Structure 1
Amino acid sequence: MQLDTLIFGQGAAQQHLLSTDLRQQVLVLHQHDAARLSKLPAALQAHLLTAAARVTLVPNKLTASLASVQQAQPQVQVLAQSWPEQVSNIRLQLDAVLQSAYQTQNLVGSLPGRVQPDSFLVVTAHYDHLGMLGKHTYFPGANDNASGTAMLLELAAHYARPENRPAYSVIFIAFGAEEAGLVGSQYFVEHPLVPLDRIRFLLNLDLLGTGEEGATVVNGRVYEQQYQLLNTLNTAGHYLPALAARGRAANSDHYFFSEKGVPAFFLYTRGGPTAYHDVHDQAAPLPLTGFIGAFSLLCDFLNLLGANSQ
């Protein structure tokens, strides 16, 4: 059953839909209409959920995600260009089991500060991705977020060398379950291993496999002084083509720290391959154009914040 878009503006169309039994119907709608469903009256939204399933036609690419709750109604995405013009019957077979008590881990390493061991700089990245969809579909997660995890390991190796011993303590955290809703980082903030008010700054690394167009800094508009420092270092070192500042966003593991008053940036690179939350996010196509530059920029930034060995 193709969704009649008149329901978004006509009461008669809404009443007609409410009188239609949807229990044996598969509701088909376009992505831009799916985004408008939340604006419908609550009774109509509830009625749409009685449909046997929902198929959303998306225009460009399929994007997978995880959730901590399971929908009562099966919902799938199909590329619009793959959908036949005339469809009379749809058969779906879905095997979906919610892992409600799945246990994951945060991995934490620390380098004691040489001068002020009770002051902390924190570097974070999530090591999880989407895993499998069924038995045959695998999401590699090379850019999201093997790239950020690799950068975390590079920074840890750098500061672990005797000649680079930090003045402040530096903590490296690889979070689990970011894709399920920032679960790992939220847990750490609620059960911190160090006092949050002793964290001088946190750098969250996610999506660092490109860089042709530079990088974006989430919270750059919040912590303007630190962003200006980062931008000055980038300009002086010619590390990345450009930096762009964003405001607050609950889109990675920096978020719960920021909400508790910990100054934090989330840095991600821009340009190059656009694979995201799909089967094409593989290692081979990633150019790592800005990886070395980002590493040098982050080292300079951390050193000025208190990791300097001098």
Structure 2
Amino acid sequence: MASLIVTGRRWLLLGVGLLPFGTLAQDMSRVRHTIATLAAPHMHGRGYVRDGDQRAAAYLRQRFRQLGLQPLAPDYTQSFPLTVNTFPGKLQLDLSVGMLRFPVLGRSRKLQPGTEFIAAPESGPGKIGGPFSAAPIIHLDTLVFTDVAAQQRLLKRSWYGGGVAIRNADVPRLATLPLPLQQHLDSAAMRFTLVPKLTASLASIQAGQVRLDILESVWQKYTSKQDDLAAQVAVRVDAELKHDYQTQNLIGMLPGTAQPDSFLVITAHYDHLGTMGRRAYFPGANDNASGTAMLLELAAYYARPENRPAYSVVFIAFGGEEAGLVGSRYFVQHPLVPLPRIRFLLNLDLLGTGEEGITVVNGRVLPDAFQRLQQFNEAGHFVPSVAARGKAANSDHYYFTESGVPAFFLYTRGGPTAYHDVHDQAAALPLTAFSGVFKLITQFLASF
């Protein structure tokens, strides 16, 4: 027997099937255009160099206006400060290949920023070596973690303006070294971390040395080990720690038809990692142009009079997520709607794939709401699966959850795996589950 859920102006049929209500279709050509626009080179990775975040914000303000959203702050804008380390100028790494002891007699291999190396998020600036000079880089022998004699030899070593290369798996072990040895390693001009994949992030601090992440496969290809010398290098890193950089959240609202002083909230962060050097930029198509596109499609849906819910719907495009959930934390500390009046919040991030379904963070925290979401999906066959996770501080729902607001964070699984790298591009996104997630969200929110 089917069960009937009455939800004011809408009704859903569960059990044997699902009867449609309103217009559920979204414009997939518009979705792709939104993602391509946000991930385009002229957005500079939506970061904090060359006004990338400001360009993205201007685009979203225009879209909010076109949709007729009511601003909850002047020009939709809630400004807030953050501190972030940036790489606005040159990013260069040249390896001396062939004649490590006499680099001027060998040849130079220029590594490509973004695809072969990146700056570590906390890297300081530096210019080391040049066309006719190079600085030595040594391999950190793993014996140093267990052998006192090896530690003493390293402690006595002079850096000569150079530094050390260490495998990523060994980085956590640095904290186990004696403090004088940790300080000696920190006194080197450079630290290279050899990684299996380049994964960028942001930092609010700046180290006193140049720190680069280099693909281990590239390092092994172009270097050799002669005694403990791995390579000689010339490096240029232009890094700037920006204090109190002003960025923003963007907030719009559609008033409810019956209870406008209660709220459903839909959120997605629009910022990303920006640029690194003058050529490499991080498109952030899946993370999170896809979630931002979903937010805009939902706003277009609820802007139609026949789809307007009883509660007011608030749309928040957060800045500063990649810098440590800064924008959402600021909003929770300075809310533009009363937090106790939020009936439910859905945070949208990484929605560009989905062949394996979706994961729901807080699904185990809010089992009744999660079961309802599952029932809608079983009836409508929107996505292949809906999996529950517990609480996690991995996106902008987190500080709302900590403040007692019921919230889910939805993300898709399966498909392309590009993440926090230069390969997260709009053309690579299959958007496999995008339409299904849209329909599932509208069904779920209609049940409040």
- TM-score, structure 2 as length reference: 0.65
Q: Does residue 184 in structure 1 map to residue 327 in structure 2?
A: yes
CA contact (8 A) 1:196 1:262 kept: yes
Question: What SS does the corresponding residue of 1:92 show, helix, strand or coil?
Answer: strand
CA contact (8 A) 1:23 1:50 kept: no
CA RMSD, 1 decimal: 1.5
Question: What SS does the corresponding residue of 2:235 show, helix, strand or coil?
Answer: coil
CA contact (8 A) 2:353 2:416 kept: yes
Q: Does residue 81 in structure 1 map to residue 212 in structure 2?
A: no
- In 2: Cα distance, 1:12 partner to 1:250 partner: 42
Deviations 1:168-188 (CA, angstroms, capped at 9, x unpaired) = 111100011111111111110
- From 165, 170, 187, the counterpart of 1:28: 165
Question: What SS does the corresponding residue of 2:240 show, helix, strand or coil?
Answer: coil
Deviations 1:269-305 (CA, angstroms, capped at 9, x unpaired) = 0111111111111111101000000000111111112
Letter in 1 for 2:186: L
Deviations 1:96-145 (CA, angstroms, capped at 9, x unpaired) = 11121321111101111222222111110011111111111121111111
- In 2: Cα distance, 1:44 partner to 1:229 partner: 56
Summarize the alignment of residues 162-173 of structure 1 with structure 2, pairs less than 5 Å apart: 162-173=305-316
Letter in 2 for 1:302: L
Match in the other structure for 2:276: 133
Question: What SS does the corresponding residue of 1:187 show, helix, strand or coil?
Answer: helix
Deviations 1:28-65 (CA, angstroms, capped at 9, x unpaired) = 01111113323444443333211111111112x21111
- In 2: Cα distance, 1:226 partner to 1:194 partner: 22
Match in the other structure for 1:153: 296
Match in the other structure for 2:428: 285
Match in the other structure for 1:49: 186
Match in the other structure for 2:27: none
CA contact (8 A) 2:224 2:231 kept: no
Q: Max radius of gyration: which structure?
A: 2
- In 1: Cα distance, 2:399 partner to 2:176 partner: 29
Q: After TM superposition, what 4+ stretches of structure 1 lie above 4 angstroms from structure 2?
A: none
Letter in 2 for 1:85: S
Match in the other structure for 2:149: 12
- In 1: Cα distance, 2:292 partner to 2:270 partner: 6
CA contact (8 A) 1:65 1:179 kept: yes
Q: Does residue 70 in structure 1 map to residue 70 in structure 2?
A: no
Q: Which has the higher strand share?
A: 2
Residue segments in structure 1 that go unaligned for 5+ positions in a row: 306-310
- Seen in structure 2, the aligned counterparts of structure 1 residues 225 and 10 have a Cα distance that, compared at 3 Å, is farther
CA contact (8 A) 1:22 1:48 kept: no
Match in the other structure for 1:250: 393
Letter in 2 for 1:188: F
Question: What SS does the corresponding residue of 1:169 show, helix, strand or coil?
Answer: strand
- Seen in structure 2, the aligned counterparts of structure 1 residues 88 and 146 have a Cα distance that, compared at 3 Å, is closer
Letter in 1 for 2:212: V
> Could you tell me how far 1:15 is from its partner in structure 2?
3.5
